[in-house]
Each structure stands twice: as structure tokens, then as C-alpha cells.
Structure 1
Amino acid sequence: MTSVDLSRTVLRAVRRAVDDGELRVEPPERVVVTTPGGGGWGDYATNVALQLARPAGQPALRVAEILRPRLIGLDGIDDVLVTGPGFLNIRLRDTVSVDLVHDILRRGTRYGFVDVPQGSQGFRSGPPASPAPLPLPLHSPGDVRSLVVMDVVARLLRAQGVVVRTRCLDSSVAPSLADQWGVRVDGYGAAGSDTPDLGALSSPPCSLQPRPCSGDPLFLGIDAGRWALLHPAPHDAVRLTGDHLVQRESNPLFRVRYAHARARAVLRNGSELGLAPRPGATGVADAALLAVLADHPRVLRRAAETRAPDRLTRHLVAVADAALPFLVTVLPRGDEKPSAAHRARLALAEAVGAVLAGGLSLLGIDAPDHL
């Protein structure tokens, strides 16, 4: 179950409570579920009871207690605990994590992608109205950051099934600049008057501090240079420093790539021990890791919808930070005998590698197996 699936499940519980007369309130259009904060419990949490308390004319704790029994046992929900002023904390069954890992391994690096063409009319849950959807035009100025941001936004949109056509508005920009950065540009110069501008895109120019580099982030290399341009939000300045190259935990890009390399390493080591990945109960506390993996499709969709590659970079850092402590628990230690739990952990490690590799690929950044 993904966070999107769980959100719909909670919303159905709210609607049933309204239909049964236990809550006199207009159900919200959507319910937000997140990973539990400090003092939380389980795999996910939602503040829907606090959201409904005032319009329902009841204390949030009472609203939460009305919803709790309607959630337990539904769609893979194992238990629900009310905490604080009325937060609903939700624990999923092990079978849910098994299904999630199965799904990631089946889709591989395309986990979270949508294969149905959607065209320029936006995101739809059903099939497109036309077999040949209109392309969504994305326009960019000629500076390096704008070109790279446009390229990744186009990749994110294509991953969601949207047909995209990119254009650099500065016809004086040499195509070799785009080629150097691995940027796909479909056209140069101003678009024709008959082309609707449905997706104009512009990024702030680079703000160089403190290392002088004449405005060219290429001194970092393509991978670190792309990360430096993409990790800040589009409205934030870019910091071009050697910090993006250091091989230690203070560097977010290093943590992401190191987590991918570690996931690949444990798979190689597991193979040497005769262990093959097999989804199942891992026997370790990995709820935070499962939560961020399950959230990957939603992050890709939101990053595409909001034209914000930085959402994906932050998400990959979250995946890496949740994965690194888990990856040291995957293989047997000492005299410990290989078991089904170790095979399940290997499957989860393989899922981690697939998500990180797929995300880095969308950013145009290499995901090395050795680091």
C-alpha cells in the first residue's frame, strides 16, 4: 500500500462515518498521510481528526476514536493508535511491505512511472481522450541551470506519461552546451505564434559563492554539477563549491550514491553466500524505509506537477538516510545462519537500489555500483 492508497482508505472511512451519522461534517476532498513525527508510532500518521474536529463540533480525540475502528483491518491495516491531541497512527501488515517490495522489484528503476500518454492537458487517472495527445511545451532561457532544470522536468513529466517538447528560447546558445550536459533540447529560438505556451519554465541564474568558477559548474563534473544545480529549489541560489565532491556524509549526493552502491554490494555478497532476494518479513525495524519507498510514486508525480526537481533530490536523500542503517543488517553476521529473513532483507535492499538508481537516472546522474 502506498501513501496515496492509504489516503484514499482513510477518506473512505471518513465518508462511512458521515453516512452512518456519527460525524456531521462535509468530507474533505483528500486526506494527508505522512510518516509519524516525534512521539509517533507505526508506519503512517494523519491529522484528519484534527482537521474535522471544528466543523464536526466534536473534540479531535472523539473524532479519532470514531474513525479508529473503521480503519483497523481495512486494506492491509494492522492496527491504529490515537496519539497526542488526536493523531491517527497507522501500522500496516507485513503483507503490505511484501507487496510493496514485489511491486518495486517488478518495475525496477521504472517504479513510480506511468506508461499511459497524458498529453498537455494535465494528469489524468484514465486513458487519454486522444490517441495522439498534444505535447506540453517547456521553454528555457539559455543559461546552464535553466537548461538542466528544464531537462529534468521534462524527464519527470515523461515518466508520468506526459508528452513533452523542450525549447531553448535563446537561439545563440550552441547545441554543444546542451550536449555537454546531457540535455535534450527539441528546438531553439522563440516558439511560433501558433504554439500554445502551456509550460513556460525559467530558473534563476547561478549565484557563485564562494569558489570562483566563472559561472561554469562544469568544474564539478557532470554528476556533481547537475546535483548542485538541481538540489536547491528553483527560486533559491546555487552554491558552486567543492563540498559537492567530498566523499563523506556531509555531502547529500555522496550519501545517495553510497546508499545505492551499498545496496548493490550486499546483493553481490549475498550471492556469494548463496542467498537470493525473496520478498518477505524482514524481522527488523524498517518502517521508515518502507514508508519512503512507498512514497516514491507520489514524489515523482508531485515533482512533475510542480515542475520542481528539488522534490526528487530531497526524497532521494530521505531514502538514503533511511536505507543506510538498514543495509548493515541485511547479511548474516558471525555464526548466524542464513534464513528467510535475510532473503527478505536482500529483496528490500534490491528495492532500495532500484529506487535510488531510477531517481538518479531521472536527474541525469550516474548511479555507480562501486563507490
Structure 2
Amino acid sequence: MTPAELSRTVLHAVRRAVDEDALRASVPARVRVERTRPGGSGDYACAVALQLAGDAGLPALEVARILRERVAAEPGIGRVEVTGPGFLSFTLDAPATGDRAVLDAVREQGSAYGHGDALRDEELRLHHAPEVRAAVTADAVRRLLAAQGARVRVGCEEGPGDVEWSRLGVTVDAYGTTPAAVTVIRPVPAHATAAELLERLGADAVRWGLLRPASHDRAPLGDDLLVQGEANPLFRVRYAYARTRALTRGAAALGFTSAPDAAPYEDAARPLLVLLADHPGVLLAAARHRAPDRVARQLEAVAHAFFDFHDSCPPLPSGDEKPSAAHRSRLALAEAAGTVLAGGLSLLGISAPEHL
């Protein structure tokens, strides 16, 4: 079950409760579900009971219990809990067919997994300040929108003042004052030129440093972006990708290849599978909100889940162990994670080297 399907399932439960007169409240147009935060319960959480409590004239906990009864038996729902002041927390079933569908989609679409045509009818104009962070952000937003089918042109208020933008992969279609009916890209400035940043950090680290923070936050651009260690998120993401490629090479040397349906996945694989299933929705939301930082955070989460999975369920046999069906399934999941990491980095304009 995808987050969109879960949202519709909860909304259907609300309608049922209202139709059955268990709740006397207006049915919302949509219900928002979110990934559970670290330390929380379940896979997803929803605050719809708190939203409806006032209208229904009932405590949020009571509203949550009413909805829980109507959601718990739905296909794809493993467990529903009421937590805190009235949140619904969902643990999803993950049948092998669902896992296979996600991994097949990643294999079929490759680095374009998560691209779509939801914005195919939109013709958009972006305009940004003559400043390096604004230019790089506008370029990343263009890539995200184009990946969802939109036609995009990018303009700059002045220019071309910083001739080093091209070394960061930035292109500008037009220069001049801000026209009407455009989206203005104006993040907190980097307070440095492209040339200064490129000399110190290189293109990949500069782009990550500029894009990883939300546009309203300052962009930290210290030398820690070059550190090859777990504390550096960019290194961790790229190292996760490089590790997935090394696994494929290692498997070939041992004479086996991946197969997503060779064996059921262990519980330790579940967080990674959920993140891969969520990936198309994350890319679409990042495009709609003009927020490339969402993609960066998604890649960090995928890398973290990949290493947890890798350490708990090694895709390669060790010692005298022979390759098994479980190893073939694990390798398929690792390769899918690598594909998603490479595709996400590409949308941010960052390379994904196979060796680090």
C-alpha cells in the first residue's frame, strides 16, 4: 500500500463513520498521512482525529478509536494504534507481490524511477536572483519539474554576472527584470561566488551544500562537505551507491545475479522497501513545492536504510557459504536502492561515482 492509497483508505473510513452516524462531522477533502518520525510507532501516522474532534464534539481519542475500527480490517493494513492525544499510527502489510512490483518498477525505469507526467500540462517560468545559490536552486527545480513532464524556462534578474555558473551545470534561458506570472526562486544567499566555492569544494559538494538545506535556511558550506566519513551526508549517500555497485560486481564474481522474488524479504528490509515505494511521491512533492532539499533528505534516508539492511541481511555470502535464494533477493533490493540513489543525485545535478 502506497501513502496515497493509505490516505484514501483513511478518508474512506471517515466517510463510513459519518454515513453510519458514528461521527457527526464534515468529511475533509483529503487526509494527510506522513512517515512516522524516528522513535514513533508504525510506518505512517495521521492526525485526522484531532482535525475532526472539534466538529464532531468528541475528544480526539474517541474519534481516533472510531476510525481505528474502520481502518484496521482494510487490506494492506497490518496494525492500527492510537497514540498520543489522538494520532492514528499505521503499520502496513507488505506482501511479496507489492515488494516485487516496486523492485520491478525500479528495474524497468532505471534512474528515471519516480519520474512521471503529472505536470505535463504545465508550462512554467522560473526567475532567480543573480546569485549562485539562487541559480543552482532554480536549476535543480527545473530538473525536478521536467522529470514530472512540465515545460520550464529559467530567467535571471541580471546577468550574466557569474561566469562560473556553467561549471555548476547551470543554464539560463533569458536575462532581465522579473516578468509577471513567474515563480521567483530566492533562497537565503550563499554570500560567496561560484568561483570561490568551486575552488574550495568542487562542483558536487557545492551543489549538495547549496541544495540540502531548505531555501529559507542558511547553506553551510564548510570543508566538512569534503570529509569522507559517516558524518558527511553527501559522502554517505554516494558511498551507499558505490557499495551497491560493488555488491553487483561481487555477486558476478561468485557466479550469481539478483532476483527480487527468489525469497521473501526479512523484517530488516522493510524500511528500505517502504522508502523505495515512497520515492515517486517524494519527487513529485519536491517538484510541486519547488523544494530540492526534499530529494536530498530522501536520499539520506535511503542510504541510512540501505546500510541498516546491508548490515542485518548481507547480500553476499561470507566464508564458505554458498549463494542462496535469500542472497539473490537481497541483492535485488540493494541494486534497486543504488538505482534510486543515482537517479536522485542526478536530479540534484550531482555525480554518482561507482568507486569512492
Return the TM-score normalized by structure 1: 0.85
Report the Cα offset of residue 17 of structure 1.
1.8
Q: Partner of 1:167: helix, strand, or coil? A: strand
User: Is 1:216 matched with 2:196?
Assistant: yes
Instruction: State the partner residue of 2:23.
Output: 23
Q: Show the counterpart of 1:144.
A: 132
Q: CA 1:39–1:200 in structure 2 vs 1: closer, same or farther (change >3 Å)?
A: closer
Measure, in 1, the Cα distance between the counterparts of 2:73 and 2:244.
Answer: 33
The corresponding residue for 1:263 is 244
Change (3 A) 1:275 1:28: farther
Matches of 1:25 and 1:107 in 2, distance apart? Answer: 43
Kindly tell me: are residues 161 and 320 of structure 1, through their superposed partners in 2, closer, same or farther at Cα, counting changes over 3 Å?
same
The offset of 1:21, in angstroms, is 1.8
Amino acid at match of 1:275: F
Structure 1's unaligned 5+ residue stretches are 121-134
Q: Cα distance, 1:226 vs. partner?
A: 0.8
Cross-structure match for 2:267 = 284
Corresponding residue of 2:214: 233
Q: Which residue of 2 aligns with 1:127?
A: none
Q: 1:70 to 1:278 in 2, by over 3 A?
A: farther
Matched ranges for 1:16-55 at <5 A:
16-37=16-37, 40-55=40-55
What is residue 120 of structure 2 aligned with on the other side? 118
Q: Which amino acid aligns with 2:306?
A: A
Match of 1:298 in 2: 281
Deviating more after overlay: 87-96 vs 256-265: 87-96
List per-residue Cα deviations over 1:178-234 (Å, max 9, x = no partner). 32211122223346xxx64321222332236xxxx8972102111011111111222
Residue 336 of structure 1: how far off its partner (Å): 4.3
SS at match of 2:183: coil
Deviation at 1:252, TM superposition (A): 1.0
Segment of structure 1 superposing worse, 19-28 or 79-88: 79-88
8 Å CA contact 2:165–2:194 kept in 1: the answer is no
Q: Could you list the per-position Cα deviations for residues 313-357 of structure 1 after superposition, in whole angstroms to 9, with x for gaps in the alignment?
A: 122112212221112322233454433332222121122111111
Sequence identity percentage: 51
Aligned AA for 1:258?
Y
Q: Which amino acid in the other structure matches residue 294 of structure 1? A: A
Output the aligned Cα RMSD.
2.4
* Matched ranges for 1:172-191 at <5 A: 172-173=160-161, 176-190=163-177
Structure-2 change in CA distance of 1:251 and 1:24 (3 Å): same
* Distance in 2, Cα, partners of 1:257 & 1:226: 14
List per-residue Cα deviations over 1:160-186 (Å, max 9, x = no partner): 211100112213436x53322111222
**What letter matches 2:113 in structure 1?**
Y
Alignment of 1:331-350 (within 5 A): 331-350=316-335
Q: TM-score, normalised by structure 2?
A: 0.88
Kept in 2: contact 1:207–1:238 (CA 8 A): no
